[in-house]
Amino acid sequence: MSIIIRFQLVLLLTYFVVSLKLEDKSYNDLAKSHGLYGSDTKVIVLNVTNFKKSVYGTSNAWLVEFYNSWCGACQRFAPMWSNLAADVHDWRDVIKIAALDCADDDNNPFCREYEIMHYPSLRFFSANSKVGILGTEVEKGKTEEDIRHNLVHFLKKEQLEGRGSNWPNIIPYRSNDVLNLWKNVPESTRFAFLIFEEKESYLGTEVILDLHSIKNIQIRRVINENEALCKLMGVFTFPSLVVLERSQNVFPLKVEENSRVLFCKQIKSFLQEHKVLLPENIGNPIAYSSSTKSIVSTKQREHFENAVEQFGLVFQVDLENTIQYSLKSEIPVRKFISGHPLEALKKYLSVLVKYFPTYARGRMFLEKLKFKVQDLSTLKGQIFLEIVESLEAEMKPVFSNSDGWLGCKGSEKRYRGYPCGLWITFHTLTTNAVIENGNDPNFNSLEVLEAMLGYITHFFGCQECSRHFQEMAEKSMRQNVTSPEQSVLWLWSAHNMVNKRLVADLTEDPQHPKVQFPTEKACPACRGPDGRWITEQVLAYLKQMYSRHSIVHVGVMENQRVENVAKADTLHVQAKLIGTGMNYKIGMVDKKRLGWNFNIFDISLCVVLYAGSAVILILVFIKFIVRKRYRKKAYIHDLLGKV
């Protein structure tokens, strides 16, 4: 019976893999990201082909976000960036808001060239920049307003330094004679609005930029240091708004609140009263709205608890995707690697060689890579990539030409993927180090964790993750880890702390809620009656889950591994299923086969597949038995031979 159930699970897994295959994702597609900005935002999407053409030599400046579509901080930042782009859309002939995704492999060399060290990074490019200028880093701040203010700061500087001469004038009006206002402006200019404000205020500049497309008016800032003009106009509170006509009429305008929106509104209503034509939609920034919380219902949580994935299947394909991304994208994106980062890289390669579960070719590849890097004292990201690629070409095939993520597949593109892969990779490394060498008296319990910390510190593209992880490590890693087993448990516990922090976060995949791992259902023995962890049980669970021997090799093409294997058949994939924990896992598959979000079509296809293969099996069986029995009776043989 249990064989049939295993067969069923293998079939389900195989189906899962086949269905992914239909989507046809090779490593390149995997690394071809789909970005965080679609057609519903005002953010201009740049890439390696259009960046230089777009950004250099234009009369407007650019503010570009370099991001990474899988990075949680970038996902959280994206709505703010879209809001900003919508908010300053009226400024677009002065400043354009754009974004470029460094997670997209095509853009990767570009991000290396621009030395993007963390995501998201904001870079300001002046008007008429020349090719080769890498832009100036701009602070992200905490709110959209912070970025807008930083931006205003940059724009003011631009004009003071003589660029952006065709932009609206945002330099303060220094003269104390209002007659000078009418010099150098077109005859048709009827009104001049003066915004009196303090030197550091952003309001005036913002209003000028908001309304600069209205013809026949000018808006200027006057700072409170221009005391003569303040006195002349009777302005003693800041900010204040005053309108002048060419005919010398002066109208002080009262604004209820010192806000950009109300200043704009007041100016516009004044103009409407005076029959000045306004362009449509001017100065009405429509805030881009997006839901900023992922809503995970209790039902979804329950559903998830029942899903097969939660019962600890680790897929070889995911581990390989992870180190491929790490070696071919994440490490090479650094322009120069030396000092601490280079030391970290060497340690990382060294633990991969020791403990990364792979085949003979994979191991040889890793060993050669380690060997090539170990004596270098400085290295360029580009060179590292070339080493990786040439070794790969030399020893082909090294990695399965992967078909997307299996265990780390998110319900949408932006969820899970690489960060998930990195966690399971390091759990796999800590666990296998202990399983294989834990009894060695010279075993260094911190070896894998130190390598991980180094990698996360110097290479992991999610800066915020990196910072948090370093803090956790600083607090407890070296203190807590005093035995081999504790290295596995420390990482487990640290991961759970991250899970706890990310519950209900925007980056939480609704289909894969953050839980304290392993769940009650997955490991009933892991918690005592008071709900506290029983760490020996947790350890046993982790060892079982992440052991080299438990890893599921579904989706790894045998013909890429073993020479002289003529043709591997997908249905022939060897799934090494978890030994001891099999029973409850199978139970769950039986009861709740919908764990993977299969729809009715999927299920029926699966049933057909299953039934089909069952029928074939039965036929083969009958043929075999009957053949044996009636070997000598030619007429029956003939008959069955046609089946």
Ligand X SMILES: *[C@@H]1O[C@H](CO)[C@@H](O)[C@H](O)[C@H]1NC(C)=O
Ligand Y SMILES: Cc1cc2nc3c(=O)[nH]c(=O)nc-3n(C[C@H](O)[C@H](O)[C@H](O)COP(=O)(O)OP(=O)(O)OC[C@H]3O[C@@H](n4cnc5c(N)ncnc54)[C@H](O)[C@@H]3O)c2cc1C
Q: If 0-12 CB within 10 Å is exposed, 13-18 middle and 19+ buried, where does residue 321 land?
A: buried
With CB cut-offs between 5 and 8 Å by kind, which of ligand Y, ligand X, none does residue 50 bind?
A: ligand X
71 is catalytic: yes
Cβ proximity of 122 and 147 under 8 Å:
yes
User: Please, which residues have CB within 8 angstroms of residue 610's CB and are 6 or more apart in sequence?
Assistant: 8, 11
Binding mask 104-123 for ligand X (x = CB under 6 A): --x-----------------
- Which CB sits closer to ligand X, 26 or 289? 26
Measured distance CA(144)–CA(149) in Å, rounded: 9
Q: Which is nearer to ligand Y, 126 or 550 (CB)?
A: 550
Give pairs for 46-54: CB < 8 Å, separation 24+.
46/98, 46/99, 46/100, 47/100, 47/101, 47/104, 47/106, 47/107, 48/106, 48/107, 48/109, 48/110, 51/100, 51/110, 52/131, 54/98
CB of 107 to ligand X, least distance (A): 8
Question: What is the spatial distance between Cα 346 and Cα 374, in angstroms, rounded to a whole number?
Answer: 6
Annotated catalytic residue: which of 74, 102, 420, 462? Answer: 74
Q: CA nearest 414: which of 78, 99, 119, 142?
A: 78
Whether residue 239 contacts residue 201, with contact meaning beta carbons closer than 8 Å, is answered with: yes
> Which residue type does 337 have?
I
The correct pick among 476, 516, 535, 560 for binding ligand X (CB under 6 A) is 476
Q: Is 446 in the site for ligand X (CB under 6 A)?
A: no
Q: How far is the CB of 496 from ligand X (least distance, A)?
A: 8
Residues 6+ away with beta carbon under 8 Å from 294: 504, 505, 506, 507, 508, 509, 510
Binding window for ligand X (CB under 6 A); candidates: 43-51, 229-237, 420-428, 552-560: 43-51
**Closer of 142 and 183 to ligand Y (Cβ):** 142
Tokens of 499: 């899970």
Give the type of residue at 454.
Answer: G
Residue 255 Rama label (left phi>0; alpha psi -120 to 50; beta): beta
**Cα separations in angstroms, 288 against 75, 81, 91, 208, 617:** 15, 9, 16, 22, 58
The Cα angle at residue 334 between residues 331 and 339, in degrees rounded to 5:
90
| Residues of span 358-377 touching ligand X by CB under 6 A | none
Active site residue 526: no
Q: Would you say 493 or 519 has its CB closer to ligand X? A: 493
Comparison of 350 and 480: residue with beta carbon closer to ligand X: 480
User: Least distance from C-beta 479 to ligand X, angstroms?
Assistant: 7
CB of 433 to ligand X, least distance (A): 17
For residue 220, what are its two tokens?
A: 């200027």
| Per-residue tokens: 208 | 């000028």
535 binds ligand X (CB under 6 A): no
Q: Exactly one of 71, 408, 462, 606 is catalytic; which is it?
A: 71
Give min distance, CB of 554 to ligand X, in A: 31
- Is 49 among the residues that bind ligand X (CB under 6 A)? yes
Burial grade of 279 (CB within 10 A; 0-12, 13-18, 19 or more): exposed
Q: Is 493 in the site for ligand X (CB under 6 A)?
A: yes
Looking at 5, 10, 48, 278, which residue binds ligand X (CB under 6 A)? 48
Pick 212 or 416: Cβ nearer ligand Y: 416
> Is residue 47 within the footprint of ligand X (CB under 6 A)?
yes
By CB under 6 A, name the one of 230, 307, 366, 494 that touches ligand X: 494
Q: Which does 238 bind (CB under 5 to 8 A by kind): ligand X, ligand Y, none?
A: none
In terms of CB distance, is 270 or 533 closer to ligand X?
533
Q: Which residues bind ligand Y (CB under 6 A)?
A: 72, 408, 416, 419-420, 422-424, 427, 456, 462, 464-465, 468-469, 492, 495-496, 498-499, 502, 507, 509, 512, 517
Least distance between ligand X and beta carbon 163 (Å): 27
Q: Which listed option, ligand Y, ligand X, none, makes contact with residue 464 (CB within 5 to 8 Å by class)?
A: ligand Y
Residue of 54, 189, 216, 480 interacting with ligand X (CB under 6 A): 480
How distant, in Å, are the alpha carbons of 401, 436, 465 from that of 443? 34, 10, 28
- Residue 465 binding result from ligand Y, ligand X, none, given CB thresholds of 5 to 8 Å by partner type: ligand Y
Three-state DSSP class for 194?
strand
Choices 46-54, 307-315, 329-337, 525-533; region in contact with ligand X by CB under 6 A: 46-54
Residue 490 binding result from ligand X, ligand Y, none, given CB thresholds of 5 to 8 Å by partner type? ligand X
Greatest extent of the chain over all pairs of C-alpha atoms, in Å:
122
Q: Which among ligand X, ligand Y, none contacts residue 496 (Cβ within 5 to 8 A by kind)?
A: ligand Y
- Decide which of ligand X, ligand Y, none touches 480; Cβ closer than 5 to 8 Å per partner kind: ligand X
**Measured distance CA(317)–CA(322) in Å, rounded:** 9
- Beta-carbon contacts of 53 under 8 Å, excluding residues fewer than 6 positions away, are none
**Integer angstrom CA distances of residue 404 from 25, 30, 442:** 6, 6, 39
- Single out the residue of 374, 282, 263 nearest to residue 92, CA to CA: 282
Q: For residue 446, which amino acid is it? A: L
Strands 61-67 and 95-101: parallel
Please report how close the Cβ of residue 486 comes to ligand X at its closest, in angstroms: 8
User: Based on CB atoms, which residue is closest to ligand Y, 259 or 516?
Assistant: 516
Q: Residue 426 interacts with ligand X (CB under 6 A)?
A: no
Q: Please, what is the minimum distance in Å from the beta carbon of residue 149 to ligand Y?
A: 26
Q: Does the footprint of ligand X cover residue 50 (CB under 6 A)? A: yes
Query: Min. distance of Cβ 477 from ligand X in angstroms?
Result: 7
Residues that bind ligand X (CB under 6 A): 47-50, 106, 472, 476, 480, 490, 493-494
Where in the sequence numbering do the catalytic residues fall?
71, 74
